[in-house]
A and B are shown apart, each in its own frame.
Chain A
Amino acid sequence: MVTPLQSQVLLPERIAGLLGLSGTIGQIVGGLLGAFIIANLLLVQTAVAGPWAKRKITAAFTDRIAVNRVGPFGLVVIVADAVRLLSKELVIPEGVDRPAYDLGPLLVPFSALLGFAVIPMGNGIHLADPETGLVFAFAASSIASLGLVMMGYGSNNKYSLLGGLRAIASNIAYEIPLVVTAASVVVFTGTLQMSEIVAQQTQPLLSIAGVTIPQWFAIVNPFAFVLFVVANLAEVGRNPFDVPEAPTEIVAGFQTEYSSVYFVLIYLGEFIHIFLGGAIAATLFLGGPAGPFLPGFVWFTIKIWAFYLFTQWARSAIPRVRIDQFLDIGWKGMLVLSFANLALTAIIVGVIA
């Protein structure tokens, strides 16, 4: 009944198979290599997104050109930016809370990378497929807010502290609607396993004039999709919900005191988080790596970049909400709507099934 979009063989097993290893060694080597490949795929994308694409996209929104002197289309600026930031002096301000100050920037990118372990990216690039995949992805990505709090608290700077506090507030307020909205998809699918969620979306919803529209949940339940994307914006801290960073209010929020390598890590983490947000949205609502003609991985990349583009668009066009409005929207708006959505979905699914 369900035609598997991708081979059910996960990446570590395939690598182990290619290397001719088996058993525990095969699992360990395959797992490590697989993780290495996936992490690098993402890091490369982040490197393109961070120093280059962000500038170019913002410039396009504001009638500018942005980097065009270094390399073709200014692409070599990625190398320059990365090396320059890494080679800068690492300033450790006086009186910082050492382990917290150092661990915070590490947690942010790693939590996001961890979340990618369960995301099916198409063409067999899928590190692990536990039965609780969706829950794992959310759990991993929320570790980041712990990192933000550590940074905010550890920096010994009041602006950082305010940023850290805002980060917790936003996380608590928007994590719940996010997960509840995702749960409405789970009600449809009846499983938390990512591969299964993707597989169910390949079923045709209806056919019009020979064009088959797949059963993507964004089409089945567009309301949930919108809710999810909005909550996701808050999760990744982008306009109109970028209150934890809020440059004109609290300088740079939790990252005010960070320089050099730590700053790179935070910067990386933010972008990987955007991609993770996009990846979860794609998996839950947009059929994961599914799509016509092109290979699955390309479609997956297109989808997460579309989400990235959306965050940048929002950043250019939408004012930031105030902290109290931000929490109001979260607690009074999103939470209610997401529960309503969940209840409705449950009723509809219950009646139909």
Chain B
Amino acid sequence: MSSERDRPFVTDDTQVQTETRDARMTGGGADNRFNSKLREAFGSSPFILTKFDQFMNWVRGSSMFMLQFGIACCSIEMMHTYSVKHDLDRFAAGVPRASPRQADVIIVPGTIVSKFAPRMKRVYDQMPEPKFVVGMGSCTISGGPFQEGYNVIKGAEEVIPVDIHVPGCPPRPEALIYGVAKLQQRIAEGESSPVTVKPYELEQFDDLEQDEIVEKLADQIDEDDLVMRYNWADSP
């Protein structure tokens, strides 16, 4: 399994599903978000726990608080999705919370650039589990129209794991609602996306490999500072 986790992108759909199921059944593995201590103690089959799991999945799929998080163009359409005509709250998913500690879902609405990626990673890390990510727009899929830019991260998946991608530039509010509804459906059915290994992680500066750029920056950056290293050449 570990050899597969080193691959940046898993393209085989069935394999993704298999891995998700395996991860859920065996407890450990890539996705440990839904597995309770009880399940570890009782194993995966007892009736009560299965029902309880179903109930919990239903709960998580029926109601969610969103993080009030705007980045770029898509955030305007996201605001429209929350408000009058489209009213995402009909799906019990329209309560924007300003603090990441109280949010379940982060909608990533826009282009992520090098300066922002560490901050977004930080915000994501501050959210309590179980948390879900909706990538909104082409920029969160691949960098979209700005993919060739010197400063643009080639998709949100490079930084945080994404559960649902909503394509479009920007997606219409209807599309975002469909995306959120799909996410709720997936959660309610007990599927969540596998956590892929991300190329860009926050690290302490002195944990980085000693190479030319690290040496060059050594007197500017404190050893304990959190940094993100971008290897643009390896980016998709």
Contacts and interface: CB of A to CB of B under 8 A. Distances in A.
Please determine if A and B sit in direct contact within the complex, based on CB atoms under 8 angstroms apart: yes
- Which secondary structure dominates chain A's binding surface? loop
Interface stretch (B122-130, B142-150, B160-168): B122-130
A64 B102 contact: no
B128 A67 contact: no
Interface in B66-120: 83-84, 87, 89-92, 94-95, 97-99, 101-102, 104
A256 interface: yes
Which of the listed residues B92, B97, B101, B130 has the most CB atoms from chain A within 10 Å of its own CB? B101
Nearest to B129: A89
Contacts of B102: 252, 255, 258-259, 263
Contacts of B99: 251-252, 255-257
A77 B99 CA distance: 21
B101 A76 contact: no
B98 to A, nearest CB: 5
A4 interface: no
B63 interface: yes
Interface in A68-121: 68-70, 74, 76-77, 79-81, 83-84, 87-91
A324 interface: no
Contacts of B98: 247-248, 251-252, 256
| Contact-residue size bin, chain B (C-beta under 8 Å from the other chain) | 20 to 34
A260 B56 contact: no
A263 B104 contact: no
Interface residues of A, number: 36
Given A84-B59, A251-B98, A256-B99, A91 B89 contact: no
Q: Nearest 7 pairs between A and B by C-beta?
A: A89-B128, A80-B63, A80-B62, A259-B101, A89-B129, A259-B128, A252-B99
23 contacts: A55-B89, A64-B89, A65-B89, A66-B94, A67-B92, A69-B90, A69-B91, A69-B92, A76-B62, A77-B62, A77-B92, A80-B62, A81-B92, A83-B59, A84-B104, A88-B128, A90-B128, A91-B101, A247-B98, A248-B98, A259-B101, A259-B102, A260-B128
Interface of A: 51, 55, 59, 62-70, 74, 76-77, 79-81, 83-84, 87-91, 247-248, 251-252, 255-260, 263
